[in-house]
Structure 1
Amino acid sequence: MALVLVLVAALVALRWVRPAWWWLTVGWALAVVRVLRRWSSVMDACGLVEDPSRLRLMVARWVHRPLPSPRVPRLVRLRVTSTGIVVRVRLLPGQDAYDFRSASDRLRHSFAMQQVTCREVRAGLVELRMTGFDVLARVHMHEVAGTSGDGLRLPVAVVEDGSTHWRDYRRIPHALTIGATQSGKSVYQRRLVKLLAPLPVALVGIDCKEGVELAPYAPRLSALVSTPEDALGLLNGLLERMEAVYQLIRREQRISADTPAAEITSDIWGLPAELRPTPVVVIVDEVAELALVASKAEEKRRDAIITALVRLAQLGRAAGIYLEVCGQRFGADLGSGITMLRAQLSARTVHRVNDEGTAKMALSDAAPDAVAAAVRISPDRPGVAVAATAAGGWSLIRTPHTTMREAVTACTEHAAATPRINEIAAWQPSPAVSLSKAPMRPAATLA
């Protein structure tokens, strides 16, 4: 008896201290038994059953048999993962994926799982991902394959269902990241810099907080500015590069009757490797500092900056220029052109915000039903965010804690791979820039 009590106490302690280990030992077996035993009753309680057909009812009356029970969606496949259970369900006539999606919270309680999400596999088949423990409580990500080469597909966070959240620049080129102070926005940015540092890309920083956020990454940055005036010059240089890349693409298309279809391209990724320009990732640390003005004289500069950002967002993808725009607030109150810029930033990541209006500004046009989830993010869980796309889908994610030292170390180790971009070379930081120094100004200004 004492041995049993010790074993039970050990399992309880394991579930509290190491929930992932508890799930891999006994948690998955208990969950599978619970799902299989309760499946029919839970489907009935959640209103996911259908009445028997009229033919079956009529036959039962003719042969004086008990009336058949309601039809239950058939459980096609059950698969155990390292974080939960994946169940595929065959829908009954008249059902759709929305029925299960709207009942996901009731299913979570009925099966005693941490989280239940639903997605449509194909017509008539849905997949329920049931998480066995709080995946976002302790986030630890291994370096996943796909973070090198030309793919520009980075594993930046963990999704609440245990899967990996990817930042894919070639599929969704531009992104907007919103979050209040101490919400984890900077950690998300450090994670991106750490993963981008080893890749053959040029990193460009616009940090109007005197460079305190991006200056430590100077050894790996191809350009860095810390004032709106310099930002305008840098953006104009990127526009010149974009036009030059378009001319290169147009020159190398060589569209003729005998040109194979696979060799015709309209962006840099279809060019031969020896001719392909280096992709550029532009990180804007606080976009409001570029848009706010204190006098009439600054309005002209502000309009030019926003216009340049809008042009890069609209036309930069094919030239291999990608935007990562960050800020605490991003709305029409920042001035004209902001909403046009926001419409081009398809990937949205919203950390904890101070008011519902900020969440609506970032999510209402992409995933309106995600606004409530963004407002409910707890202050004691920094790094948790709502990730949404223009397609309307969204999920709750959390970035693994990445220190400034880790990101700086990655930039220092790969400093030799920093490409030189001629159009913006005047703003390339000096190799002597250290953590204690402000970012270098363009050579013309220093002279």
Structure 2
Amino acid sequence: MEACGLSEQPSRSRVFVAGVLDRVPARAVPKLRRIRVTRFGLVLRIKILPGQDFLDYDAATERLRHAWRTHDVYVRALKPGFLEVRLVGYDVLRYVVMPRKLPAAELLKVPVALRSDGALHLRDFRASPHELVIGATESGKSVYLRGLIKGLATQPVALVGIDCKWGVELAPFARRLSALAYTPEDAAELLDVLVEEMVQRYELIRASQGLGAGVAVEEITSDVWGLPEDVRPAPIVLIVDEVAELFLIANKADEKRRDHMVTQLIRLAQLGRAAAIYLEVCGQRFGSDLGSGATALRAQLTGRVAHRVNDEASAKMALGDISVRAVGAATQIAVERPGTAVVGLLSGGWARIRSAFVSLDEVAAVCADTAHRTPYIPALADFRMQPAVLPTQPSKQTV
């Protein structure tokens, strides 16, 4: 601690005792309160000295890493005067191994990746309703999305997909999807239906609030989660794969449709949380040059995940309002480390994560096994995609 500049001048009493004993007074150092051993290293609970704060230790993490000869050091504030220092002994993200004992399953909360400090990264839709996920080709963005779908497939959640790559990414999961649009024209119609569904849910909330006389205050609600379970609609997660395709235009007619789609998407992002409609917007790149509404849409997407990107502008668009260091970390992700990403944390910081590899057939099998759990939403019935049956080839007869 002294070598890393985290000690303080000794107190007067210590100087007096050292003078009486004819010794050099030792500098005051933070006090170690607790040590916990994990499979990744050590977790220290430290009581800091008066006059110190979290930023002093956060700025010294690189010095502490070399002084303790560990792979990495992470600091987290616990309460006033106490910090948690996590020492990681090796590169946790080199080979991602998810913990055997995962947290108890909760609605709309899915473990999707492992953080560089050894902690589990959870995608919590209730805490962060909407998320932006960007990443170049072969960056691991699709694997992240598969892990998310795999976790949501086992829950009573309606999954809705917009995949303008003719459905090649989301069509394998069609048995579990409540709706799927794979052309911009279908996407425009589906967004209109979702906005209408959102309006109907708001009308249900207003009708169920019960503001008449004799109604208890705790029974009044402003979102669907306060409704009784027998009338509460199923939550909807809208997954948009390759959002840039919704912004592209070729003529004036496309421009009008594009503006309408973006407007509906922004409305869902602004008002969907209370109606239990959540967005997962993915794309290879995302910038203001996509067109009108891109910046407004990004402002509504609280969660940010940036995989390896081809341009710094996309990293700034995703992480620029979180941390400059996070933007630099996103642009330094190596090509040979697919699945690695930089994520904005709900606490306000950022962290490196890496998704565990999930194969396409594995997720498709889970979706097929959980097809019976697909909530029925009448407004989305027309967009339910039926698995295609490939034509059989005539067999060659041998003479």
Which category describes the TM-score, using the shorter chain as reference length?
over 0.9
Q: Residue 59 of structure 2 is aligned with which of 90, 102, 113?
A: 102
Q: Residue 183 of structure 2 is aligned with which of 227, 236, 249?
A: 227
Q: Which residue of 1 aligns with 2:139?
A: 183
The answer to whether the 8 A contact 1:204-1:282 is kept is: yes
Q: Which residue of 1 aligns with 2:9?
A: 51
> Does 2:104 align with 1:146?
yes
Post-superposition Cα deviations, 1:263-314, rounded to whole Å, max 9, x if no partner, equal 2211111111111101000000000000111222211111111111100000
Q: Residue 386 of structure 1 is aligned with which of 342, 348, 366?
A: 342
Post-superposition Cα deviations, 1:170-223, rounded to whole Å, max 9, x if no partner, equal 111100001011000000000011111111011101000011100111101111
The answer to whether the 8 A contact 1:367-1:392 is kept is: no
Q: Which residue of 2 aligns with 1:370?
A: 326
Q: Which residue of 1 aligns with 2:379?
A: 423
Report the secondary structure of 1:130's partner residue: strand
Q: Residue 264 of structure 1 is aligned with which of 220, 223, 227?
A: 220
Equivalent residues in 2 for 1:113-128, closer than 5 Å:
113-128=70-85
Q: Give the Cα separation in 1 of the matches to 2:220 and 2:76.
A: 36
Q: Give the Cα separation in 1 of the matches to 2:66 and 2:15.
A: 33
Structure 2 counterpart of 1:421, one-letter code: I
Aligned pairs, how many?
390
The answer to whether the 8 A contact 1:146-1:154 is kept is: no
> Does 2:309 align with 1:336?
no
Q: Give the Cα separation in 2 of the matches to 1:296 and 1:323.
A: 28
- 1:54 offset after TM fit, Å? 4.5
Equivalent residues in 2 for 1:265-414, closer than 5 Å:
265-389=221-345, 392-414=348-370
Structure 1 counterpart of 2:103, one-letter code: A
Report the secondary structure of 2:208's partner residue: helix
Query: TM-score, normalised to structure 1's length?
Result: 0.84
Report the secondary structure of 1:119's partner residue: strand
- 1:59 offset after TM fit, Å? 6.2
Q: Which residue of 2 aligns with 1:72?
A: 29
| RMSD (Å) for aligned C-alpha atoms | 1.7
Q: Which residue of 2 aligns with 1:89?
A: 46
Q: In proportion to residue count, which structure has more helix?
A: 1
Q: Give the Cα separation in 2 of the matches to 1:107 and 1:259.
A: 59
The answer to whether the 8 A contact 1:219-1:412 is kept is: yes
Q: Percent identity?
A: 54
Structure 2 counterpart of 1:125, one-letter code: F
Report the secondary structure of 2:167's partner residue: coil
Deviates more, 1:311-320 or 1:383-392: 383-392
Q: Residue 93 of structure 2 is aligned with which of 136, 139, 148?
A: 136
- 1:60 offset after TM fit, Å? 4.8
List, as ranges, runs of 4+ consecutive aligned residues in structure 1 with deviation greater than 6 Å.
Answer: none
Q: Give the Cα separation in 1 of the matches to 2:343 and 2:336.
A: 19
- 1:387 offset after TM fit, Å? 0.9
Report the secondary structure of 1:374's partner residue: helix
- 1:390 offset after TM fit, Å? 6.4
Q: Give the Cα separation in 1 of the matches to 2:217 and 2:305.
A: 37
Structure 2 counterpart of 1:341, one-letter code: L
Change (3 A) 1:60 1:133: closer
Post-superposition Cα deviations, 1:114-138, rounded to whole Å, max 9, x if no partner, equal 2211000001100001112221111
Change (3 A) 1:352 1:422: same
Structure 2 counterpart of 1:52, one-letter code: P
Structure 1 counterpart of 2:183, one-letter code: T
Q: Which residue of 2 aligns with 1:433?
A: 388
The answer to whether the 8 A contact 1:346-1:389 is kept is: no
The answer to whether the 8 A contact 2:136-2:310 is kept is: yes
In structure 2, the gaps of 5 or more residues are 392-399
The answer to whether the 8 A contact 1:366-1:389 is kept is: no
Change (3 A) 1:390 1:339: farther
Report the secondary structure of 1:45's partner residue: coil
